[in-house]
Amino acid sequence: MSTPALDVRRLVKTYDGGFTALHGLDLQVPAGAFFGLLGPNGAGKTTLISAVCNLIRVSSGEIDVFGAPHTSMEARAAVGLAEQDVNLDRFLDVEETLVYHGGYFGMARSDARRRAAEMMDVFDLRAKAKVRAPALSGGMRRRLLLARALMHEPRLVILDEPTAGVDFELRLELWDYIRRLHQQGTTILLTTHYLEEAEELCEEIALIRGGELLARDSADGLRAAYDARTLADVYVKAMAGEQPVGAAS
């Protein structure tokens, strides 16, 4: 098997103050996969992602990104993250937001400007190039967040609830962007609360709760394993602590 995009081994995260958000989590995401991470609020999804992106210190365990330790420059350059919270710099316009991000990842200024122009075209932000973040609509901010995550052409794109609170049309638009990205060979790790979104987009789904992995399979595999008709039924059963019935899991 080729090197996985993400290899998380026995990951434990205990926050200052003593709360343990991840209890020895193991997770592998194959290169090129469209992978969904599902679980209720507080399951540890954002904690896991923050650990992968080296935004928080892990308590123990290991994380490799395409075979490189997650703290290495190599790993950090391989990952593009669109965070759950819209964290745009209010003093930067759209173009600056993108170009500065490119600079942060070591892109030459001319390359960063070219790539920024490309991203503004793809995400329909060209007309807003000189507009600062606070003057953008919510939908534009979401698109900018995604454009920024893609600036340095990461091989693994992590999207933390990219469609939370997003209207129906933009949701479809974001799906379309993300699908295309996946078709081009990018590995996608998506967290979401929308089961139909996971079902529609993801080849494989991991269910987590209380900082532990409950199950991991395709939507079909999960339905079979939980003897459930819909993914919603799977979700309810898994979160209630039911064990998969089949051997597949």
Ligand X SMILES: Nc1ncnc2c1ncn2[C@@H]1O[C@H](COP(=O)(O)OP(=O)(O)O)[C@@H](O)[C@H]1O
Site for Mg ion in 76-135 (CB under 5 A): 84
CB of 7: closest distance to Mg ion in angstroms?
21
Output the smallest distance, CB 150 to Mg ion, in A: 21
Rounded least distance, CB 83 to ligand X, Å: 11
Cβ-based nearer residue to ligand X, 160 or 204:
160
Strands 60-65 and 6-14: antiparallel
When asked if residue 46 is in the footprint of Mg ion (CB under 5 A), the reply is yes
Residue 69 interacts with which of ligand X, Mg ion, none, CB < 5 to 8 Å by class: none
Cβ proximity to ligand X, 21 vs 156, nearer residue: 21
- # residues near Mg ion by CB under 5 A: 3
Residue nearer to Mg ion on the CB measure, 9 or 193: 193
State whether residue 61 is helix, strand or coil.
strand
Q: How many CB atoms lie within 10 A of CB 197?
A: 19
Helices (H), the chain: 45-52, 73-78, 94-104, 109-122, 138-150, 168-183, 195-201, 219-225, 231-239
Residue 97 CB, nearest approach to ligand X (Å): 24
Q: Which residue has the tokens 């490309």?
A: 118
Q: Which does 36 bind (CB under 5 to 8 A by kind): Mg ion, ligand X, none?
A: none
Task: State the residues that interact with ligand X by CB under 6 A.
Answer: 15, 17, 19, 21, 39, 41-47
50 versus 187: smaller Cβ distance to ligand X: 50
CB within 8 Å of 27: residues ≥ 6 apart: 6, 7, 8, 11, 48, 206, 213, 216
CA–CA separation, 173 vs 164, rounded Å? 14
The tokens describing 136, both together, are 């953008």
Buried b (16+ CB within 10 A) or exposed e, 118-155: ebbebbebeebeeebbeebeebbbbbbbbbbbbbbebb
Q: Which is nearer to Mg ion, 46 or 192 (CB)?
A: 46
Shortest CB 80 distance to ligand X, Å:
18
Interface residues with Mg ion (CB under 5 A)? 45-46, 84
